[in-house]
Structure 1
Amino acid sequence: MLKNLYLMSGTDAFTKGGLDNVALTENAVCLEQTGGRYVLYGCFTSPEIRFPAFRQLTVSWNAETPKGTVVEAQARVLVDGEWTGWLTLGKWSPYIRRESLHQEAAKPAYVNGDTIHVPAGRASLAQLRIYLYTNDEQLTPLVRLLAASVRPVDWHWEEAEPYGRLLRLPAYSQQLRDPVFAKSMSAAVTLASMINRWGQDALPEELAWGMRDYALGDCFNYAFMTALAGGYGYQAYRAYLDPASVWQQVKAGHSIGLRMHYAANQEDAARLGLPVLPGAFATGADQCMALRGFELENGQVYVLVNDSLAPTDRQAEARYPAKEFWAAYSGEAVIITGKHPGEDEGHPIRRRAGLRALEQLGCYLFQSAEGEDLPLPEDFEGTLACTVPDGVAHATTAHKAFHYLSRSEEGAVRLPPELLSQAGRLTVYAINFSGGGLVGEVHTGN
C-alpha cells in the first residue's frame, strides 16, 4: 500500500472505526435498527491516519444511497500539532442537488471543492468520518469504502517503467455529447470509458448528470465521480500517484483516469502558464483522460489515452510522448479496480417506457407500461436525445450518433422533421438530473 493512500473497505477494516448509531453489515456500514426500523442518522469515524507531511488531502467514498437517503463525508487534519475542526466534502446522493463547499483560503485548513488544503505549516495526521441519513425508516444507505490520499510536501516522483501495456477501453469524444456539458464533460466521458470496459454501457450524459456539482454547475468534482462509480458497484477512489505508481495500476489491469493541465500551443502555454502537450487536439486547462497504457516505438515511450477533446470517438484514441505527458499530469488520479457482483443498486436506472404520438407533428409523450402518460415536468432538468439506426454494430450505446432534442409545452419530446422523414426505429432518451430516466422507441417513415 502506498504511504500516502489509506483505504478502508470490508467488514474487518470497518471494525477498527467508531460506530455511532450505525452497524456493520456484510462489507458495509449501515444505520442501526431498532424494532425493525432504521434510525434517522448515524456516523462512522475512522481511526487516526498517519501520512507523510502534506498540505492537500482528498477523500473518497463508495456508498449505495437509495432515494431518500444521503451520506456526508468529512475529514479533519492535524496541523503543527493541533486538530482542525471537521470539514465537509459535501452531501452525496444521485437524487439530490449536490453542492461542494468552496471556502476562502484560511488557516489552519479549508475546503475547495473536492480537496482539503493546508495553506501554511504541515499536516501529519488525518481522520475521516461519514454521516448516514435517511428520511425513510425502512431504508438505509450502505457505505462500502472510505479512502483518503495526500499530496506529500516532499514528493519525489519516480518515473514509469518503459514497457508496453494496452488496456482496451471504449473511447468517446466530448465534442459529440450534449452541448449543455460541452466544456465540462471530460470527467464524465472518462468515467464512461472506465466502467464501460466492463460492460456497463452507461451514457456520458447519465454520468454527467449523476455527478454534477450544483455549486459550480459543472462536472469537475472528482469526489462525486468516484462516489457515482461506487453506486454502480465499482471500487473507486482517488489518489495522488507518481508515474511509477500509475504504471503499477495499469500493470494490474485497473481503470485509471488522470487529471491533466496542458496547452495545445505556445500561445496558450504563455497565456495560461501551462506546459505544451505536443499533438493535443485542444488546450485542456483542467482535463481528465482515461489511460489505456504505454507503448514503445524506436526507443520512445508513448502514453496511450482516450482524449475526449478529439473531434470524433475514433480519434479520441490518442498517444502522447511520455516526457511531455508527465509534465502535464497533475499527480491526481481516479482508480477503479473492478466491479463487485451484487453491489450495483446504488445508482438511478434507465426505465423502458412507451411513446405516444400527439397531434402536434413530431411530439411524443412517454407512457408507463400501464398506458399512463408520463409528461416531462415543466422544470425538467436533464438531457433529451435520440439515436437513429445506421446499420453499424456499435461496441457501446454511447458510440451511436446522438441527436439532442427539446421538450414541448405539453411535456412531450419534440423530434425534428429531418428525423421523422427517415424510415426506421428511433430510440428516445429522457435523462433526468439524477442520471436515470426513461427510454422508448418511435417508428418513423414508411
Structure 2
Amino acid sequence: MTYPGSTTTIHERAADWTGAEIRGAQLHAEAVSLASGASSGTLTSLPLTVAAFDELVPSWNAVTPGAGSVSVEVRAQMGAAWSRWYSFGTWSSAEGRSSLDGQKDSAGQVMTDTLRLSKKATAYQYRVTLRGEGTTVRLLAFNTSDRARQSAGLGTASDRRAWGKINDVPQRSQMIYPDGGEVWCSPTSVSMILAAHGVDVTVPQAAKSTYDRAYDGTGNWSFNAAYAGALGLRAYVTRLPSLAAAENFTGAGMPIAVSLGWKKGELPGAAMATSSGHLMVLIGFDKAGNPVLNDPAAPNNATVRRTYPRAAFEKLWLSHSGGLSYVVGG
C-alpha cells in the first residue's frame, strides 16, 4: 500500500519471507511459529527498500499462549550506514507487555510505537523474536512515512461513491468509566470496531489488554493493532493521505480508527474542546461528504455519533498524525 509520502508493507505469507534468516522458528503457508522443541526463535528479514522516510510504525498479529511473547526490532539504512537495532518492546496477550524506553542516539529515537529518524532512510530491516510454546506470528506490517509530506494529500478530490454510506458500528463512550476512562480513547475505538465485526469485548477489557507498562497507558498504536489481531482479526497501522483514501475503506464496509489533535475552536462540534491526541472511529460519510465518527470522548453512549466538517477534520488528522489509522478487518 503506497501513497505519496507513505508506504505500508505487509508480510503475512511464506512468499513474503523468502530469503529471511530463520533460527529456531519455522514457516507455514500464512504464519511463522517456533520450531518443535524451541523455547525461542527469530526471523530476520532481508533489507526492504522503500521511498525515503524518517518515521516507521510497526504492526504485528500474533498468538501468544500462556507466557508467550513477541518482540519486533527494526534498523534503518541512511546512506551507506545502518542504524542500531531499535526495539518496540515485548508484546503478550498476558500481563506484562511493555514498550522500551531510553532508545535515543544520533540516528534516531523510539517514541513508544514510532521510530523517528534524524535524517531520511531508504531501506529498513526487521527482526521478530517469538518466545514460548505455541507462539505464532501471522502478520507483520511496517508503515514508513516522510514527515515533511504528511499533509501533501490535503483536499484530494473524492469520487463521492462512499458519500451517504454509514457503517453500523456500536456507540461506546470512554467517559462513562470513572477508573481511567478519560484516557481510553484508543482501546474504546478498537472495541467499537471489534464489535462491528462480531467480536464483543468491553471497554475495560480492551483497556486492560492494551495497557503498556512502560508507557503507563493504553495508547500504544502497535499494541492496539496487536490486540485486535490476537482476537483473530487482521489488523495493522497505516497512514492515509486524505479522506478520499479513507473512503475506500468505509465504502467497502470497513470502519477505521483515526488519530488527530486540535486546539480550541478548530473542530466544530467536538466532544472535547481541545486534544493533544485522540482516537475516534471513522464509520462513513454523510451525503455532503462530511466524515461521520463514533467519538468516544462523548459524555455518554447516546451522544457518541458525530459529524465533523470535512475540510477542518482532514486538516487536523493529516497535520497531527499524518493520517494515522488502524485498519481492522475479518
Using structure 2 for the length normalisation, give the TM-score: 0.91
Separation in structure 2 between the aligned mates of residue 180 and residue 238 of structure 1, nearest angstrom? 27
Structure 2 matches for 1:100-119, cutoff 5 A? 100-103=99-102, 105-119=104-118
* 1:162, distance to aligned residue in structure 2 (A): 5.7
Q: In structure 2, what is the equivalent of residue 334 of structure 1?
A: 326
Please tell me whether the aligned partners of residues 76 and 125 of structure 2 are also in contact (alpha carbons under 8 angstroms): yes
Q: Please state if 1:277 is matched with 2:270.
A: no
**Runs of at least 5 residues in structure 2 that lack an aligned partner in the other structure:** none
Separation in structure 2 between the aligned mates of residue 124 and residue 24 of structure 1, nearest angstrom? 28
Q: Please state if 1:24 is matched with 2:27.
A: yes
Q: In structure 1, what is the equivalent of residue 158 of structure 2?
A: 161
* 1:252, distance to aligned residue in structure 2 (A): 2.7
Please tell me whether the aligned partners of residues 59 and 223 of structure 1 are also in contact (alpha carbons under 8 angstroms): yes
Q: Aligned to 1:56, what secondary structure does the other structure show? A: strand
Please tell me whether the aligned partners of residues 160 and 247 of structure 1 are also in contact (alpha carbons under 8 angstroms): no
Q: In structure 2, what is the equivalent of residue 92 of structure 1?
A: 91
Q: In structure 2, what is the equivalent of residue 441 of structure 1?
A: none
Structure 2 matches for 1:21-420, cutoff 5 A? 21-33=24-36, 38-103=37-102, 105-119=104-118, 121-134=119-132, 139-153=133-147, 155=149, 156-157=152-153, 159=156, 161=158, 163=160, 164=163, 165-177=165-177, 179-243=178-242, 244-263=244-263, 265-266=264-265, 276-282=266-272, 283-297=274-288, 301-329=289-317, 330=321, 331-338=323-330
Report the AA paired with residue 225 of structure 1: N
Report the AA paired with residue 182 of structure 1: G
Distance 1:204 1:41, change over 3 A: same
Please tell me whether the aligned partners of residues 91 and 99 of structure 1 are also in contact (alpha carbons under 8 angstroms): yes
Distance 1:89 1:26, change over 3 A: same
Moved more, 221-230 or 329-338: 329-338
Report the AA paired with residue 17 of structure 1: A
Report the AA paired with residue 186 of structure 1: C
Please tell me whether the aligned partners of residues 22 and 29 of structure 1 are also in contact (alpha carbons under 8 angstroms): yes
Distance 1:6 1:285, change over 3 A: same
Using structure 1 for the length normalisation, give the TM-score: 0.68
Separation in structure 1 between the aligned mates of residue 69 and residue 121 of structure 2, nearest angstrom? 29
Question: For each residue in 1:70-111, what CA deviation from the matched residue of structure 2 results, as whole angstroms up to 9, or x when unmatched?
Answer: 110111111232111111001110213122123365321221
Report the AA paired with residue 157 of structure 1: G
Separation in structure 1 between the aligned mates of residue 267 and residue 19 of structure 2, nearest angstrom? 45
Separation in structure 1 between the aligned mates of residue 245 and residue 74 of structure 2, nearest angstrom? 25
Separation in structure 2 between the aligned mates of residue 112 and residue 10 of structure 1, nearest angstrom? 29
Distance 1:125 1:328, change over 3 A: same
Indicate the structure whose relative CO is greater, using CA pairs within 8 Å and at least 6 residues apart.
2
**What is the aligned-residue RMSD (CA, Å)?**
1.6
Q: Please state if 1:7 is matched with 2:10.
A: yes
Please tell me whether the aligned partners of residues 86 and 103 of structure 2 are also in contact (alpha carbons under 8 angstroms): no
Report the AA paired with residue 332 of structure 1: L
Aligned residue pairs, count: 315
Report the AA paired with residue 318 of structure 1: R
Moved more, 165-174 or 232-241: 165-174
Question: For each residue in 1:298-331, what CA deviation from the matched residue of structure 2 results, as whole angstroms up to 9, or x when unmatched?
Answer: xxx3110101111121210111000010121122
Higher strand share: 1
Larger radius of gyration: 1
* 1:140, distance to aligned residue in structure 2 (A): 2.3
Please tell me whether the aligned partners of residues 112 and 215 of structure 2 are also in contact (alpha carbons under 8 angstroms): no
* 1:5, distance to aligned residue in structure 2 (A): 1.0
Q: Aligned to 1:96, what secondary structure does the other structure show? A: coil
Separation in structure 2 between the aligned mates of residue 105 and residue 23 of structure 1, nearest angstrom? 33
* 1:49, distance to aligned residue in structure 2 (A): 1.4
Question: For each residue in 1:203-237, what CA deviation from the matched residue of structure 2 results, as whole angstroms up to 9, or x when unmatched?
Answer: 11111000101113211101000111110001100
**Runs of at least 5 residues in structure 1 that lack an aligned partner in the other structure:** 267-275, 339-446
Question: For each residue in 1:318-369, what CA deviation from the matched residue of structure 2 results, as whole angstroms up to 9, or x when unmatched?
Answer: 110000101211221110122xxxxxxxxxxxxxxxxxxxxxxxxxxxxxxx
